[in-house]
Amino acid sequence: MKTRKTQLEEIAITMIPLVGPVLGRQLISYCGSIEAVFTESKRHLKTIPGIGEEIASQIARTGQAFDNADAELTRMEREGIGYTFYLDDTYPARLFHLPDAPLILYTKGNLNLHPERSVAIIGTRKPTPYGKSVTEEIIEALAPCDITMISGLAYGIDITAHKSCLRHDIPTIGVMGSGMGNIYPDSHLPVAEKMMEKGGILTEFTYDTGPDAVNFPMRNRIVAGLCDVLVVIESGIKGGSMITASLANDYNKDVAAVPGRRIDKSSAGCNHLIRNQQAHLVECGEDIIELMSWNSRTRQQNFQTDLFTEMTPGEQKIYGLIVGDREKDIDTLAFQSKMTPGELAAILLALEFKGAIKSLPGKKFMGIG
């Protein structure tokens, strides 16, 4: 269990001016620990790539950051808000390897940040009746697939998807562009509260942070990073949904889009993504199930059972981590397994020889069966 001192350090580093997720990781990596960041000399801090005189001076004057962190932690304890730091086992493995992933995620509810399958559903804030209907039909079709649905708690497609998940008892997570004290829009607070029973809300922003426009592109990268497949349902040619789809492609996620008529401006973005081969064309939930090969679960489980009898405990552990996802990269496997690079490489090779997995470009691996 973490000491309060460690908790304060983890929150405080996110409150140092000019230190974002990338520099924060850089600091911890070069200094060796979160504690060392705050005890290191200014002279040594200045030698770290990306840390110049101004940032080193900010780190040396961390009294205010710790005061703010103490106030934040006290309020979190009072409000029932948790958090996960990027070095914690509870931190989402799907986010960990992304270069711009948040240092910290504040959470509220009953969130599983390591779901077997995750789908993000996003789209316009002003959907047509058709867009709402398709969203609800897709959610209903995915209900038997043991998914967690992720969206942004916004007007339109987002809130339609969240509400549909509640009706079908599907865990759903709302990623916010504001702090826990400013759920936005506030008209969605009752839905957010219901989501906390099976799922919940998360944000990288501190409690009092308002829904400033600059925060939402940052929110979008978390939505893109947390999912296995991102589905766009009605979007104009520009806007947050298109940004999120672009991020998901950059993160090597599967992206899908529901097409619309050529004359429908609300579908112009979806049609653009499909036309430019930036998204798979899907028209219903069954198309997504087929795209992700989720309709072969029973066959995979039988195959896995047979293989497990032939595996060492180490091989079982790595195989178990891989088969839950369509594919998994070696950095995520190393983080989740806590194995040395040599141990992990040997086990991956053995699993390939047994025909249990296959290697993919980019040091990724996929379970077979």
For the segment 35-63, the average pLDDT, to the nearest whole number, is: 89
For the segment 225-236, the average pLDDT, to the nearest whole number, is: 97
Q: How many CB atoms lie within 10 A of CB 346?
A: 14
Identify the burial level of 309 via C-beta atoms within 10 angstroms of its C-beta, where 0-12 means exposed, 13-18 middle and 19 or more buried: exposed
Task: Please state which CATH number belongs to domain 296-367.
Answer: 1.10.10.10
Minimum mean pLDDT range among 42-46, 207-211, 223-227: 42-46
- What pLDDT is stored for residue 324 in this prediction? 67
- HEC string for 107-147: EEEECCCCCCEEEEEEECCCCCHHHHHHHHHHHHHHHHHCE
Q: What is the pLDDT of residues 54-110, one digit of tens each?
A: 989 988 888 889 999 999 999 999 999 999 999 999 999 999 888 899 999 999 999
- Edge-first strand order for the sheet with 104-110 is 82-85, 104-110, 199-203, 172-175, 147-151, 117-123, 229-233, 254-258, 280-281
Instruction: Please answer whether residues 223 and 194 qualify as being in contact, where contact means their C-beta atoms are separated by less than 8 angstroms.
Output: no
- Edge-first strand order for the sheet with 328-329 is 328-329, 364-367, 357-360
73: closest CA among 140, 136, 11?
Answer: 11
- Percentage above 70 pLDDT, the chain: 95
Residue 37 corresponds to which tokens in the numbers above?
Answer: 């960041």
Q: How many CB atoms lie within 10 A of CB 250?
A: 12
> In whole angstroms, what is the distance from residue 121 CA to residue 147 CA?
12
Q: What is the pLDDT of residues 297-309, one digit of tens each?
A: 544 454 455 555 5
Query: What does the domain layout of the chain look like in residue ranges?
Result: 4-71, 108-292, 296-367
- Fold annotation for 108-292: Rossmann fold (3.40.50)
- What pLDDT is stored for residue 299 in this prediction? 41
4-71 is a CATH 3.20.20.80 domain? no
* pLDDT band for position 349 (cuts 50, 70, 90): confident
For the segment 305-331, the average pLDDT, to the nearest whole number, is: 77
212: closest CA among 241, 184, 251, 245?
Answer: 184
